[in-house]
């Protein structure tokens, strides 16, 4: 009887397998360079295509050249794991990456799409990672795309060349360029990736005419740069900038001479010497020299004007902008040069940094008590690091564009790392949200980070922030009927309203904007 049952069960199983095709965990798409095969997310709702090459490897003779179209491949390319990350090094304790994935061959992007899009043309989010243009990767856990894709969009993240590999100017490089330019290779990578999205995203169900770019920190600088550049401004329909803004551009001739001198001092007399060196030798030359010498360049190609001038002329991308920064980007110690919370120290440093405006600055920033010194020093550290540049971008776009501008202040205090052996009985929470702490919240990815005990309030804030961001990506407007109303900022209002994103998210007046205006008019350089 048991034997008969087994035979019958086997027949039923065989018939079932023939009549119903097996469910596969893989999915394929044909893009302009060939067929790729991705994977389906664990929840079965999102297709993921990871490590798609969007340009030829920038190695050998292609080192410090504009990105080139990838060579088509035969057969099926497995795109189920993240690609290599750009060359970089751990210059600070907070820098963390997988050294086994470092490579000059780093021009890869990732795509997430809802599994059943039908004939829809979904809006597209293209995110650019931060890291000071020095470090970072598009595969960072906080920016994993599944949660955003489940909001009804196509999500793209990417790698681009960093540090000396992405921002090295040299007279020989300018000479060999058909555009007479050098230095902005990382930005050219970003623009090339955008063009790849324009050409291929329809295959994934995305709308090539509905692309919002977003980024945090240096990713936000990149968003601003893509808005300002004549090479990319017409490819985008919306922008989100988080904790990053206007940065200075080094004139090409100056940048090229600095690059030449730095190379010669390191023993590289010619471009041939530089291209024959290993990637490890180049990164060593970079970190042993002056890293701050390599940055974005006013090259008359990627940029034809300094960024403020571009905006003042109304020549930037005329698109809706959602922009904001955090309430405590840097700790007070960054301004006070240590934990020296005295009135005397605050006044001494302020007079050194603002010799012509010290009296007015000391009036604007209360500093009689320890608590006042702490708050004012924190505010000034944050302004000098991020706030002034971000405010400048906000102010320039609202005054030189007819498109809506939405501004936020992110204030939710982040919980401490549960693995840092913190005595919670004596723990003092920071005075606000620090740099980059909002990223996982805005992406709806708190559940992926096991280093923190996120509370119900944290998840509430994440839900609100992600909803605002996803609404903006889909419509150019962050509002819906279920969220606190967030009006666009008027172009000329001296005290505009700002959405304060916190446990109690609410619209508040930006009553301290006079500080930004004063420091900007005083000509204080952004310390970035």
Catalytically active residues, by annotation: 217
**Number of other residues whose CB lies within 10 A of the CB of residue 421:** 6
**Exposed, middle or buried, 118 (CB in 10 Å: 0-12/13-18/19+)?**
exposed
What CA–CA distance (Å, rounded) separates 328 from 243? 11
Handedness of CA 427, 432, 438, 444 (dihedral sign): positive
What CA–CA distance (Å, rounded) separates 239 from 224? 8
Closest CA to 221 of 327, 154, 295, 292: 295
DSSP 361-390: HHHHS--SSHHHHHHHHHHHHHIIIIIHHH
Start-to-end Cα distance in the chain: 81
What CA–CA distance (Å, rounded) separates 208 from 108? 19
CA Rg, the chain, in Å?
25
- C-beta separation of 47 from 54 below 8 A: no
Closest CA to 445 of 427, 426, 466, 464: 466
What CA–CA distance (Å, rounded) separates 499 from 510? 9
In angstroms, the Cα distances linking 171 to 27, 34, 94, 174, 182 are 47, 37, 35, 5, 8
Quick one: DSSP state of residue 107? Answer: -
């Amino acid at each position: 009887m048991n034997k008969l049952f087994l035979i019958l069960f086997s027949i039923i199983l065989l018939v079932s397998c023939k009549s119903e095709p097996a469910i596969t965990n893989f999915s394929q798409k044909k893009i302009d360079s060939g067929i790729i095969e991705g994977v389906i997310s664990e929840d079965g709702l999102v297709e993921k295509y990871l490590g798609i090459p969007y340009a030829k490897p920038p190695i050998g003779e292609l080192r410090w050249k504009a990105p080139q179209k990838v060579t088509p491949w035969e057969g099926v390319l497995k795109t189920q794991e993240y690609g290599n990350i750009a060359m970089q090094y751990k210059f600070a304790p907070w820098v963390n990456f997988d050294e086994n994935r470092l490579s000059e061959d780093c021009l890869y992007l990732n795509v997430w799409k809802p599994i059943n899009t039908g004939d829809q043309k979904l809006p597209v989010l293209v995110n650019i990672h931060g890291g000071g243009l020095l470090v970072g990767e598009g595969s960072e856990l906080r920016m994993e795309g599944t949660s955003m894709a489940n909001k009804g969009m196509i999500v793209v993240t990417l790698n681009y060349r960093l540090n000396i590999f992405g921002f090295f100017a040299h007279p020989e490089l300018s000479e060999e360029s058909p555009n007479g330019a050098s230095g902005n290779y990382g930005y050219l990578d970003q623009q090339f990736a955008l063009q790849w999205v324009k050409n291929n995203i329809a295959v994934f169900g995305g709308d090539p005419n509905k692309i919002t770019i977003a980024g945090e920190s240096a990713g936000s600088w990149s968003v601003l740069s893509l808005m300002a550049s004549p090479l990319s401004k017409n490819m985008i329909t919306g922008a989100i900038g988080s904790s990053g803004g206007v940065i200075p551009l080094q004139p090409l001739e100056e940048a090229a001479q600095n690059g030449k001198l730095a190379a010669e001092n390191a023993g590289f007399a010619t471009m041939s010497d530089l291209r024959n060196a290993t990637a490890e030798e180049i990164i060593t030359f970079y970190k042993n020299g002056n890293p701050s010498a390599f940055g974005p360049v006013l090259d008359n190609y990627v940029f034809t004007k300094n960024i403020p001038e571009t905006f003042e002329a109304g020549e930037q991308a005329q698109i809706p902008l959602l922009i904001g920064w955090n309430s405590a980007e840097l700790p007070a110690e960054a301004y006070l040069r240590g934990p020296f919370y005295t009135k005397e120290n605050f006044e001494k440093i302020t007079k050194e940094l603002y010799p012509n405006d010290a009296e007015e600055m000391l009036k604007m920033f209360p500093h009689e008590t320890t608590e006042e010194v702490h708050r004012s020093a924190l505010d000034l550290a944050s302004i000098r690091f991020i706030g002034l540049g971000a405010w400048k971008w906000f102010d320039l776009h609202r005054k030189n564009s007819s498109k809506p501008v939405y501004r936020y202040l992110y204030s939710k205090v982040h919980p401490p790392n549960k693995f840092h052996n913190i005595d919670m009985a004596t723990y003092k929470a920071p005075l606000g949200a620090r740099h980059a702490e909002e990223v996982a919240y805005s992406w709806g990815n708190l559940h992926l980070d096991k280093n923190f005990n996120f509370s119900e309030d944290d998840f509430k804030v994440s839900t609100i922030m992600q909803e605002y961001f996803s609404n903006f990506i889909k419509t150019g407007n962050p509002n819906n009927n279920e969220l606190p109303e967030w009006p666009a900022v008027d172009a000329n209002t001296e005290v505009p309203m700002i959405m304060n994103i916190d446990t109690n998210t609410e619209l508040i007046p930006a009553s301290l904007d006079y500080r930004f205006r004063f420091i900007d008019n005083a000509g204080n350089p952004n310390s970035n």
